[in-house]
Amino acid sequence: MTDGLRMPPDLMRELAAYVTEILVERSRRLPDEPAWDGEFQQELTARLMEEPPESGRPPREVIDRAVRDVLSTTMRHDHPKAFGFVPSAPTWPGVLADYLVTGFNVNAATWLSASGPSQLEAVVIDWFRRWLGYPETAGGVLTSGGSAAALDAFVAARDAAGHPARGTVYMSDQSHSAQKRAARVIGIRPDRVRVLPTDADFRLSVDALASAVEADRDAGCTPVAVCADAGSTSTGTVDPLDAIADYCEAHGIWLHVDAAYGGFAAVTEPGARLLRGIERADSIGLDPHKWFFQPYDTGCLLVRDATALERAFAIHHDVLQDSVWGANHPNQADRGLQLSRRDRALKIWMSVQIFGMAAFRAAVRQGIERAERAARYVAESPVLELMTPASLGILCFRVNPGEGAGDEREIHRLNRQVLARVFWEDRAFLSSTLLHRRFALRMCVINHTTTWDDVRETLETIERFGREARAAS
Ligand SMILES: Cc1ncc(COP(=O)(O)O)c(C=O)c1O
C-alpha cells in the first residue's frame, strides 16, 4: 500500500478526502460542542506516551486517533461562543491555502526559492501598508505572530539606536507580555524595561513616558524603543498614538505600535478613526490570525522604512550567495529571524480574493458593533456592571455584589465562582483579566461566526450564575 515514505495517488486522494470530510463535519457541528475541551496530563500521558511503531499502521486508524486523542482536546478558538483571550476563526480558503502551501512545499526564504510567494507577500504587505496609512517607503515581513513581530521590531530599533550598552524600552502596564519578552530577548535587562502605569482609561500617559525617559537619560541609559498599544488585549484600548508619536519624534526614539490585536480594525471607518496616528509609528505589529480570520500562525511586522529591517537582519553567507537577485528582488529572510519559512501570504490573498474586502470589512465591523451592543446589555443588567466600555470588540464587566455589597476580595471570589461555572457547565468559553488589580470578566467577540444570540445567551447565563452565587454567599 505504501512504498517507503511514499503513497500511491489513489491513497493520497482517499486520505485527503477523508480529512476534508472530518474538517467540514467539525465545522458543521462546532456550535453544538463546548468551546473548550481539555484533559489532565496524567490521562494524556497514558494515552499518548509510547515508543514509535516500527511498522506503519493503517492511515485511517492513525487519523482517527489523532482527531480523537490529540486534536479534540483543545480550545475551539473558532467556536461561536469562544469569547476568551483572542478568538480566531479562520476562513476555509485560508485553511485550504495552508494545505496548498504545504503540499507545494514552499520555502519562502528567498526570491530564488520562492519568487511567486515572495511577490505575493509584497502584495499582501502593500495592502496592509495602505490600510494603515503608511508611506510607500514602508515594507515588512510576515511572521509567526505578534511576539515575533515585536522581537524583529526591537532588533531594528536597537540597530537604529546604535546598540547602546544601557538600553531601555518603555511600555504600559497594559502592554502584552510578548513585548516584555521581546525586549528581554534582545538583551534589555528586565530592570530596564519600564512598565509605566496607565491612566484611569488604561492608556499610556505621555507625561509618565516623558518623566521615565528623562530620568533614564540622566542616569546614562539610552532609550531603544517605546511600545504603544493599538488595542490592548485586556480592554481593547488604544493609546494616544498621535501624542506618543509627537513625543518619540521630538526625542528621536523608535516607536513600535503593537497592533497585533486591534490593527485590522483599520479596514473599517470607526476602527480607522480609533487608530489615527498609527501611521506615524516606526514599526507596527499585526496579527492576521486574530482579526483577519487566518489560520495560525500568521503575524506581520511593518516598518515605516523598509530598509531598516534589512540593515538589522541581512547577513551575507557564502552558501546562500546564489540567492541574491539584486534590487527589487527582496529576500524575506533578510527582514527577520527566520531563514526557512512557510508561505503565509497565500492564505491572506486567497481568502480576500474569494470573499472580497467588503465581506472582511463587514466581519470586522460586526465585531466592533457587537461588543458595543453587549456593553449596552451589561449596563442595563441588574446583576452585571460594566468595567470598561466596549473597545475594538472587547468588553470587561463583572457580577456586582448586589444588596450584599462586598469588598473587592469578595467580588473577586464571586466572579471567579461564576467564571468557573461557565467553564465547567456552559458551552461558552470566557476568560478574565485584572484591571488595575480589580478582577474582571472579559469578552472578546470578534469571531465572524458569532451571532448576537450567542453573546446574549452567554450574558444571560452569567447573570443566572451571578444571581445564584450571590444568593449562596
Ligand atoms: C496585543 C497583543 N500583542 C501581542 C500578542 C502576541 O501575539 P502572538 O500570540 O501572535 O505571538 C497578543 C496575543 O494575544 C496580543 O493580543
Considering the domain architecture, whether residues 139 and 230 belong to the same structural domain is answered as yes
Residue 306, domain member (yes or no): yes
> What residues contact residue 66 under an 8 Å CB cut-off, 6+ apart?
none
**pLDDT per residue over 171-227, tens digit each?**
999 999 999 999 999 999 999 999 999 999 999 999 999 999 999 999 999 999 999
Q: Decide which of 319, 334, 355 is a domain's last residue.
A: 355
Phi, psi dihedrals of residue 418, rounded to the nearest 5°: -65, -45
Handedness of CA 204, 131, 300, 152 (dihedral sign): negative
User: How far, in Å, from the CA of 63 to the mean position of ligand 1?
Assistant: 31
Distance of alpha carbon 466 from alpha carbon 463, whole angstroms: 5
The beta-strand segments (E) located in 323-383 are none
pLDDT for the residue 430: 96
Q: How confident is the model at residue 327 (pLDDT cuts 50, 70, 90)?
A: confident
User: How far, in Å, from the CA of 5 to the mean position of ligand 1?
Assistant: 38
Considering the domain architecture, whether residues 111 and 233 belong to the same structural domain is answered as yes
Residue identifier of the C-alpha nearest atom 5 of ligand 1: 146
**Average confidence score pLDDT of the chain:** 97
Q: How confident is the model at residue 328 (pLDDT cuts 50, 70, 90)?
A: confident
pTM of the complete model beyond 0.95: yes
Give the domain range for residue 427.
Answer: 358-472
Atom nearest to 299 CA in ligand 1: 10
Considering the domain architecture, whether residues 257 and 129 belong to the same structural domain is answered as yes
Residue 112, domain member (yes or no): yes
Considering the domain architecture, whether residues 398 and 465 belong to the same structural domain is answered as yes
The beta-strand segments (E) located in 222-282 are 222-229, 254-259
Residue identifier of the C-alpha nearest atom 14 of ligand 1: 86
Considering the domain architecture, whether residues 305 and 381 belong to the same structural domain is answered as no
Residues in the ligand 1 pocket, defined by CB under 6 Å: 86, 145-147, 176, 178, 233, 258, 260-261, 287, 299
- Which residue is listed with cell 446583576? 383
Residue 440, domain member (yes or no): yes
Residue in 233, 256, 300, 394 to alter for ligand 1 test, most ligand atoms within 8 A of Cβ: 233
Atom nearest to 150 CA in ligand 1: 4
Measure the CA angle with vertex 200, ends 196 and 206; round to 5°: 45
User: How far, in Å, from the CA of 3 to the mean position of ligand 1?
Assistant: 43
Considering the domain architecture, whether residues 387 and 328 belong to the same structural domain is answered as no
80: pLDDT strictly greater than 70: yes
CATH number at residue 403: 3.90.1150.170
Residue 287, domain member (yes or no): yes
User: How far, in Å, from the CA of 51 to the mean position of ligand 1?
Assistant: 36
Distance of alpha carbon 47 from alpha carbon 140, whole angstroms: 43
User: How far, in Å, from the CA of 20 to the mean position of ligand 1?
Assistant: 29
For residues 67-80, average pLDDT:
96
Distance of alpha carbon 418 from alpha carbon 377, whole angstroms: 18
Residue 127, domain member (yes or no): yes
Out of 32-41, 61-70, 405-414, least confident range: 405-414
For residues 260-271, average pLDDT:
98
Of 412, 411, 416, 425, nearest to 458 by C-alpha is 425
> What residues contact residue 116 under an 8 Å CB cut-off, 6+ apart?
none
pLDDT for the residue 404: 62
CATH number at residue 289: 3.40.640.10
pLDDT for the residue 392: 98
User: How far, in Å, from the CA of 262 to the mean position of ligand 1?
Assistant: 10
Considering the domain architecture, whether residues 231 and 262 belong to the same structural domain is answered as yes
Considering the domain architecture, whether residues 340 and 198 belong to the same structural domain is answered as yes
Atom nearest to 149 CA in ligand 1: 11
Work out the angle between the directed axes of helices 206-218 and 241-251 (0-180°, nearest 10).
20
16: left (phi over 0), alpha (psi -120 to 50) or beta: alpha
pLDDT for the residue 345: 98
Considering the domain architecture, whether residues 341 and 367 belong to the same structural domain is answered as no
Residue 85, domain member (yes or no): no
Residue 48, domain member (yes or no): no
Of 382, 471, 372, 374, nearest to 418 by C-alpha is 471
> What residues contact residue 148 under an 8 Å CB cut-off, 6+ apart?
299, 301, 336, 337
How many domains, in total, are found in the chain? 2
pLDDT for the residue 226: 98
- Beta strands at 283-286 and 254-259: parallel, antiparallel or unpaired: parallel
Phi, psi dihedrals of residue 110, rounded to the nearest 5°: -135, 165
Q: Decide which of 299, 331, 355 is a domain's last residue.
A: 355
Of 218, 215, 219, 221, nearest to 196 by C-alpha is 215
Strand order in the sheet with 394-399: 384-391, 394-399, 438-444, 431-435
User: How far, in Å, from the CA of 240 to the mean position of ligand 1?
Assistant: 20
Residue 8, domain member (yes or no): no
Distance of alpha carbon 343 from alpha carbon 338, whole angstroms: 12
Torsion of CA 141, 143, 148, 151, to 10 degrees: -10
For residues 280-295, average pLDDT:
98
Distance of alpha carbon 20 from alpha carbon 355, whole angstroms: 20
Atom nearest to 231 CA in ligand 1: 1
For residues 399-427, average pLDDT:
90
User: Could you tell me what percent of the chain has a pLDDT over 90?
Assistant: 96
Q: Decide which of 333, 355, 377 is a domain's last residue.
A: 355
User: How far, in Å, from the CA of 179 to the mean position of ligand 1?
Assistant: 9
Atom nearest to 297 CA in ligand 1: 10
Q: How confident is the model at residue 405 (pLDDT cuts 50, 70, 90)?
A: low
Residue in 287, 296, 337 to alter for ligand 1 test, most ligand atoms within 8 A of Cβ: 287
Considering the domain architecture, whether residues 307 and 363 belong to the same structural domain is answered as no
Question: In terms of DSSP H, where are the helices of 228-318?
Answer: 241-251, 269-274, 288-291, 306-313
Q: Output the 3-class SS for 23-39.
A: HHHHHHHHHHCCCECCC
Considering the domain architecture, whether residues 225 and 370 belong to the same structural domain is answered as no
What residue type is 216 in one-letter code? D
Considering the domain architecture, whether residues 137 and 264 belong to the same structural domain is answered as yes
pLDDT for the residue 219: 98
Distance of alpha carbon 417 from alpha carbon 444, whole angstroms: 20
